[in-house]
Amino acid sequence: MIIDIHGHYTTEPQSLFAFRDKQLAGLIDATRKPTTNDLGITDEQLEQSVQRQLAFQKERGSDITIFSPRASGMGHHVGPEWVSQEWTRMNNNLIHRICSLLPENFIGVGQLPQSPGVDPRNCIPELERMVNELGFVGVNLNPDPSGGYWTDPPMTDRYWYPIYEKLVELEIPTMIHVTGSCNPNFHATGAHYINADTTVFMQLIQGNLFKDFPTLKFVIPHGGGAVPYHWGRYRGLSMMMKKPPLVEYLMKNVYFDTCVYHQPGIDLLAKVVPVENILFASEMIGAVQGIDPETGHYFDDTRRYVDAAKNLSDEDRYKIFEGNARTVYPRLDAILKKRGL
């Protein structure tokens, strides 16, 4: 089985965007606010909206995608807290409906109703709802709700502990994933995403989060940002800070995905990062859409890269494609076992 742990719903019906436009317009003029939260989206429209994802699954040979709302659309930096609460619930509900309609293809992961400077405890009711009522197996956690200005504390700060406590209680991992950037210095998918992945890993080196939460699991996407390329730098910094060896210190709790869109990048990831810490993912349909003229294949067809990585054994590929995901996402494993898989 091939489990893609990083997929976003980026082909939403236009009525969702129409609602968002009205919601934000209502911040300036209350008469323009939406009059209902009913988007009028039928099940047939939802199924039709993910036909490209289904086609790519079939063409590329993946079996199931862990599916979450559009990351750049989470928009935690936009509007007051109630806007984020309303918008988050709406997007999580759409993910739940798609996963209910196509359970053999998609399993849900949700976003949180975060807002800059707002106590993370306020996210816990929605976190509980998405797991206990919607059946989601994970959650995306934004380390920078400000959209590129980093106004909240580091992820190792006790500010975040209520979320971590709930994640451990619910036995779900979190993917560390920012949303769009409102800082003109940082392109969202080309800079802000990679910055955040790298920044959080460095924060984890500086702190000692997993002493307090030994079973907490972080998935750092996009191949771990710049970390694998600078693995020696981070090993060295960890040593200079009198920390234990990096693999021993962090890699029982931190995992990277394979959203790296060229063969040399995957080769490097698989060479320097323990294979037990790599989860298969493509992010389709996501940040990089199009065919690489050098290969003739889609950039985000990441299975090709894993298949072609010469330093991986068949056992290694099993771990990357399936085994590691079952370990990191225990609720996913339970669902699959219930299906006899």
Question: pLDDT by residue (tens digit) across 37-73?
Answer: 889 999 999 999 999 999 999 999 999 999 999 999 9
Per-residue pLDDT of the chain (341 residues; tens, 9 = 90+): 999 999 999 999 999 999 999 999 999 998 888 878 889 999 999 999 999 999 999 999 999 999 999 999 999 999 999 999 999 999 999 999 999 999 999 999 999 999 999 999 999 999 999 999 999 999 999 999 999 999 999 999 999 999 999 999 999 999 999 999 999 999 999 999 999 999 999 999 999 999 999 999 999 999 999 999 999 999 999 999 999 999 999 999 999 999 999 999 999 999 999 999 999 999 989 889 999 999 999 999 999 999 999 999 999 999 999 999 999 999 999 999 999 99
Predicted TM-score (pTM) of the model is: 0.96
**Catalytic residue list contains 283:** yes
Predicted local distance difference test score (pLDDT) of residue 36: 82
Interatomic CA distance for residues 122 and 85, integer angstroms: 9
Dist CA 225 CA 231 (whole Å): 11
Instruction: Give the pLDDT of residue 37.
Output: 85
Location of structure tokens 């949700």: 110
- Give me the torsion for CA of 219, 225, 227, 230, rounded to 10°: 170
Buried b (16+ CB within 10 A) or exposed e, 105-130: bbbbbbbbbbbbebebebbeebbebb
Looking at this protein, which amino acid is placed at residue 43? D
DSSP string, 203-219: HHHHS-HHHH-TT--EE
Strand partners, 254: 218
Decide: 326 and 332 in contact? Cβ < 8 Å. Answer: yes
Q: Distance between CA atoms of 199 and 253, rounded to whole angstroms?
A: 16
Q: Three-class SS of residue 151? A: coil
pLDDT at site 77:
96
Which one from 44, 283, 294, 322 is the annotated catalytic residue?
283
Strands 291-292 and 297-298: antiparallel
pLDDT of res. 30? 87
Given a contact cutoff of 8 angstroms between Cβ atoms, the answer to whether 3 and 319 are in contact is no
What pLDDT, on the 0 to 100 scale, is given for residue 332?
98
Neighbours of 97 (CB within 10 A): 16
* Domains (range + CATH), the chain: 3-338 (3.20.20.140)
Q: Are 192 and 185 a contacting pair, CB within 8 Å?
A: no
pLDDT attached to residue 121: 98
Can you read off the two tokens belonging to residue 264? 């040399």
